[in-house]
Amino acid sequence: MSTENSSTARQRERERDRSRNKNRRRAVVWLVRILVAAVLFFAGLALGRALESGSGSGETDTSVRTLVPETLTPQQTVTVTVSSP
């Protein structure tokens, strides 16, 4: 009887150890997930601030140019008439 009890006790101890290891693994996996999410969040903040700062001057440089039709030389027009046979 003592061998059966000790065998059962060993099995219970193994199951408890496995359960603890599984819980530790789950905790580590969640910790890694949270760390990755935090890194991505702060990388997004840094990228947003870099894009927002732009060139640093803060002013918009707009150039307006008007095309004048007289500066283009007119092309010769040709009329083609096609008759059906």
Let me know if residue 16 belongs to a domain. yes
What was the pLDDT predicted at 56? 58
Range of the domain at 48: 2-56
pTM for this prediction: 0.46
State pLDDT tens for residues 11-64.
Answer: 888 888 888 888 899 999 999 999 999 999 999 999 999 888 776 566 777 888
Percent helix, percent strand, percent coil in the chain, to nearest 5: 65, 0, 35
- For the chain, the domain total comes to 1
- What phi, psi does 62 have (nearest 5°)? -110, 135
Q: What is the pLDDT of residues 35-48, one digit of tens each?
A: 999 999 999 999 99
Would residue 37 count as lying in a domain?
yes
What are the angstrom distances between the C-alpha of 81 and each of 78, 84? 10, 10
75 DSSP assignment: P
- Domain presence at residue 22: yes
* Residue 80 within any structural domain of the chain: no
- Give a yes or no: residue 68 inside a domain: no
> Is residue 48 a part of any domain in this protein?
yes
Q: Does residue 81 lie within any of the structural domains?
A: no
